[in-house]
Chain A
């Protein structure tokens, strides 16, 4: 019976994860009709019996359970206990050594083990179905003491995001990426905020591990109507992305490539990828390890962040790229965003930010007003991602609005000729959009973007 049920569970790459703080089986009712199918539960040896009952009930509903184990003591024993208690797998969350991780993995095999570790320790190019980190910024527009939004160098508000890091991390390998940061404590987290953090990860193909703040969790547990409405918004936003699984096969559109490795700061938030993302220029992250002639196919501009780190073969690829007409921006040695090796660091320091201003000036000058796939207007409070279908015949433009206010009248100028356009939002059915010709190719207008919207061009 147990093994039969196990077979009904989704594969790890299809898990839609949420941290769960309850072992009462009735709380599983909250998952009815939602895409959440994987619960991360802090392992507590004192509650083995309740945990086993809960895991069994979850499995009966097709929901996987993962026991979360943190540093402190030997994790192998509690991991085994969790599997004995019918948990589907184990999550090691924290800074575990590679040896320990391997030992736990062997102890629970064939049950899956997922690591939520430091960004710098993620097994980026591995064959693990899921890799993850607990380190993330809380996405949104930071507000100053007087309530005004912080502005970036463009004059537009700066948006805190994990998107640049996730773009870079996804470029290393095929693993599904989870980002499992927690809501900032002592903050009011609105439904908009939850939707934004989900969309921030989803628009670049990653998944945020749902984590409820204390207040929302309490209200949901008490059956509070407003709390349940927030939960409804969260799951609707999840459904929006999970309901379009075909989008996951789309790949980043790339006329502009940023070649950046871990040592060059690829895993830091607020770096070059986020700066380029803030100006809505479609960009593709290319780790040096993946730098081959075919990787740069279709690319017309490239930024080589850390030239000194390239191998002679990789440099040859870039030479060939420039010989074939590509524009390459290669910075001096001190360009690289040092600090990536500091374990706790996930954003740029002041000095690095200052240095980035110089880099940014050159990148900005290189990109200019050119259309490198799509140009978006009235999107200063948004971030976007342009993806192309495997057959190259369709494109997706993901938009995420971080402003907590709907944005009206967004205009899209896509490079190339498209005959049809469709708008997808969490709150409304698919809508066909009027397409019109513009100098760069195809224009499309969107009336309003609440938190997220996706345009499909074909």
Chain B
């Protein structure tokens, strides 16, 4: 990070007082690519290809491998902000998805599986995508062996895969997820550059909260066994800890101790980052929304924004740290400071788990600089 970038970032941070955590000196780091991309009508594929080259080349990551890509399709496809297409507000854009599939196919990926735990979804993910206005046939045709799977329940699998938090779990000792997260060589989180009501920002780390199947972690999950036809979100189990997940899955370690969503969700997300590591983070900031994660948010006014950037990296914490800085925030800000006014900082929690560094001085930024990409989400 250059001095100029640092100064720009400091200028972007809320004033006058910053509560900033100390850096973890030994947390891993990895380069992060930032590219300007003014619109989805531009050459998204070429831009993305350059970015992948800048972080070490896509072939090295995916050749001959099964790749699972977790999308961000949060909230019902029927809920739209001012009637706008979902991809320009709070969903990852289908053109970015198609471009990623194409490039991965070209780089020799053996199988590409797009996954998401769609809101209240028990049917096929393809239909959810069609309801979102996506051309599923076109994405499926972008590369050989493209698949789609709804991970809100068992999906096409026969059993759930258990992912243990290696040590010092914050919330749960392990998580039961759809098989797709296990039956893969490479796990990609493709997120949107957005604020989040509960977590301050939602980027590649927070996107993976959506790996939790509502069949087990949903409000209407079975008390003992999963409910394979979930119809709700994960508020009771995940956000407020009013109940435990289905007993078939590992139970919360300190149930009833903390019911604050601003504590719980960031800690669960940080746990997931070590239980199911992310191999590649891609963040869609071409067009998005500021103020919250979707049109159902009422606590702050939502704004359509056009940051015009794409961000990608091999380490989700370094990538999210850079993305947070691009949004005009300090990625090391502690609770009480924007964007983490009412929540713990997921990035710091993941850093403490040893996933990656949040220290911008230790993160190599390639492509355009943070200062050049800076787009203030706060007012």
Contact = CB atoms under 8 A, between A and B. Distances in A.
Interface of A: 146-149, 151, 154-157, 369, 377-381, 403-405, 407-411, 436, 445
B131 interface: yes
Nearest to B130: A377
15 contacts: A154-B76, A155-B120, A156-B78, A156-B79, A157-B80, A377-B131, A378-B133, A380-B79, A381-B78, A381-B80, A404-B83, A408-B133, A409-B134, A410-B133, A436-B137
A380 B131 contact: yes
A75 B130 CA distance: 56
A380 B77 CA distance: 8
Nearest to B298: A146
A251 B255 CA distance: 59
Contacts of B119: 155
Given A154-B78, A156-B79, A408-B133, 14 more contacts: A146-B298, A147-B82, A148-B298, A149-B80, A155-B76, A155-B119, A157-B78, A380-B78, A403-B80, A405-B82, A408-B85, A409-B133, A445-B135, A445-B137
Contacts of A379: 131
Contacts of B136: 411
Interface string B97-132: 000000000000000000000011001000100111
Nearest to B126: A377
- Secondary structure class of chain B's binding surface, majority of residues: loop
Q: Most chain-A CB neighbours within 10 Å: which of B78, B80, B131?
A: B78
B135 A381 contact: no
Given A377-B127, A381-B83, A407 B137 contact: no
A445 B127 CA distance: 13
Nearest to B84: A405
Nearest to A406: B83
A378 B298 CA distance: 24
A380 B80 contact: yes
A411 B130 contact: yes
B14 interface: no
A155 B123 contact: no
Interface string B77-96: 11110111100000000000
Nearest to A436: B137
Contacts of A381: 78, 80, 83
A154 B121 CA distance: 12
Nearest to A148: B295
B130 A155 contact: no
Interface centre among A147, A156, A380, A436 (most CB of B within 10 A): A380
A369 B126 CA distance: 13
Contacts of B78: 151, 154-157, 380-381
B187 to A, nearest CB: 28
Interface in B56-89: 76-80, 82-85
A380 B119 CA distance: 15
In the A-B complex, the 7 residue pairs with the closest CB atoms:
A156-B78, A380-B78, A377-B130, A405-B83, A155-B76, A378-B133, A409-B133
B130 A151 contact: no
A146 B82 CA distance: 11
B124 to A, nearest CB: 9
Task: Identify which of A146, A378, A403, A410 gathers the most chain B CB atoms within 10 Å of its CB.
Answer: A378
Contacts of B77: 378, 380
Contact of A407 (B120, B127, B133, B134): B133
Contacts of A151: 78-79
B76 A403 contact: no
A193 to B, nearest CB: 14
Contact of B135 (A149, A157, A409): A409
A379 B137 CA distance: 18
Contacts of B298: 146, 148
Nearest to B134: A409
B337 to A, nearest CB: 27
A148 B302 CA distance: 11
Contacts of A155: 76, 78-79, 119-120
A438 to B, nearest CB: 10
B332 to A, nearest CB: 34
A66 to B, nearest CB: 38
Contact of B123 (A148, A156, A369, A404): A369
B148 to A, nearest CB: 14
A408 B41 CA distance: 14
Interface in B249-272: none
Nearest to B128: A377
Contacts of A157: 78-80
Given A146-B298, A381-B83, A405-B82, A156 B127 contact: no
Nearest to B136: A411
Nearest to A369: B123
B364 to A, nearest CB: 38
Contacts of A369: 123, 127
A369 B133 CA distance: 18
Contacts of B295: 148
A371 to B, nearest CB: 11
A180 B326 CA distance: 55
Contacts of A404: 83
Contacts of B80: 149, 157, 380-381, 403
B132 A378 contact: yes
Nearest to A438: B137
A373 B39 CA distance: 38
Q: Of A148, A410, A445, which is in contact with the most chain B CB atoms at under 10 Å from its CB?
A: A148
Contacts of B130: 377-378, 411
Contacts of A154: 76, 78
A407 B123 CA distance: 23
Nearest to A401: B83
A1 to B, nearest CB: 53
A436 B137 CA distance: 10
B243 to A, nearest CB: 22
A164 B76 CA distance: 25
B135 A378 contact: no
A156 B135 contact: no
Nearest to A375: B127
Nearest to B79: A155
Contacts of B84: 405
Contact of A156 (B76, B82, B85, B133): B76
Contacts of A148: 295, 298
Contacts of B135: 409, 445
Interface centre among B76, B130, B136 (most CB of A within 10 A): B130
B52 to A, nearest CB: 27
Contacts of A403: 80, 83
A310 B80 CA distance: 43
B2 to A, nearest CB: 41
A146 B123 CA distance: 33
Nearest to B77: A380
Contacts of B134: 409
Contacts of A405: 82-84
Interface in B274-333: 295, 298
